[in-house]
Amino acid sequence: MAEPRVLYIDDDAGLRRLAGRALERRGFAVTPADGGAAGLALATAERFDLVAVDHYMPEMNGLETLERLRALPEPPPVVYVTGSDEGRIAVAALKAGAADYVVKTVGDDFYDLLGASFASVLERTTLERAKTAVEADLRASNARLEALLGEVNHRVANSLQMVSAIIRLQAGALADAGARDALADTQRRIDAIAQVHRRLYTSSDVESVEMQGYLAALIDELAGTWSSDAAPRRLSLAADPVRLPPDRAVSLGVIVSELVSNACKYAYGAAAGEVRVALKAGDAYFTMTVEDDGRGLIDGAAPQGTGLGTKLIRAMTQSLGGTLAYDTDHQGVRAVLTAAMG
């Protein structure tokens, strides 16, 4: 293993020679410099593992030299050497970026302390550089994984869009109205899931879905499906800022899709009507409400239809670990879902 290269900056020629011999006996390769300007020039031109800087020097003192060394593109660690035991000098040097300081004394004890300081600083520097390298590798790895996950979500969204298109073509080829309606419901459910993946691959955050934007896009799609000149439906959304993991966003999206579709199908008949969706955030829980002002539930019966939508709502509510209740005091139908954020 090569000896650590040390640049020793001191204006006293005799002390430079003594320090060089003493430190070389302790396993360091020492290059002397007779002042701050000369030391800075050497540190700029060559690579040193460590620099020792004396405090009292003419023209450019130790603190000025330290400041210029720290401004180099890849500054080496600096051990500050002073003949004064004044604490203010040591504090000023450490604040300016010195890795350590040693008070200069007469005899081998000083060089023992200096050698021990060098070894400690070099070990700490090696650990810090290793830590920095590991952190850089982790950031690069996370960036690659996020890009990969974004690509996966892109492909999933495209695949679900293709499936939706196939179902639409199949529905158009059927003569049976009930079968067409069933396929249209299936297509709508697939679109609710695909919307989550579209959100994920176009967002910088691939670990959560911003629910305001997601629900707004979902409700726009539902309005395009269920509102017509013959039976106009006004769909509105009031949502607090909420972010949910993708699986929980999918579950909530399916529930909203089913409840809004039920309201559009059964609340108003052929008359105009409004369906309101609200998402409210609490500290640990959120509440999602879907309500209309239509005919309401008959004798507390479940919503009309084949029952598949009701089963989906129940399954998605269970996946959220939440509860879904119907407000019987409301004029129409008001469904209230409560679930934890994560």
Q: What is residue 97's DSSP assignment? A: T
219 residue type, one letter: I
Pick from 169, 201, 203: nearest CA to 186: 169
Architecture in CATH for domain 5-104: 3-Layer(aba) Sandwich (3.40)
Cβ-contact 257, 311 below 8 angstroms = no
Cβ-contact 83, 90 below 8 angstroms = no
pLDDT in tens, 280-307: 998 899 999 999 998 887 665 554 555 7
Q: How do 285-292 and 233-239 pair as beta strands?
A: unpaired
- Beta strands (DSSP E) in the chain are 5-9, 29-33, 50-54, 78-82, 100-103, 209-210, 233-239, 243-244, 273-281, 285-292, 323-326, 334-340
pLDDT in tens, 177-222: 888 888 888 888 888 888 888 887 777 777 888 999 999 999 998 9
As a whole number, mean pLDDT of residues 162-166 equals 87
Cβ-contact 15, 53 below 8 angstroms = no
- % residues pLDDT > 70 (the chain): 97
Q: CB neighbours (10 Å) of residue 174?
A: 13
DSSP 129-180: HHHHHHHHHHHHHHHHHHHHHHHHHHHHHHHHHHHHHHHHHHHHT---HHHH
Predicted confidence (pLDDT) at residue 1 exceeds the cutoff of 70: no
Contacts (Cβ under 8 Å, ≥6 apart) of 75: 69, 97
Q: What is the mean pLDDT of the chain?
A: 88
Cβ-contact 63, 95 below 8 angstroms = no
Q: What is the location of CATH 3.40.50.2300 in the chain?
A: 5-104
Q: Strand, coil or helix: what is 245?
A: coil
Give the global pTM: 0.59
Q: What is the location of CATH 3.30.565.10 in the chain?
A: 222-342
As a whole number, mean pLDDT of residues 240-267 equals 91
Architecture in CATH for domain 222-342: 2-Layer Sandwich (3.30)
Rounded Cα distance, 286 and 55, in Å: 63
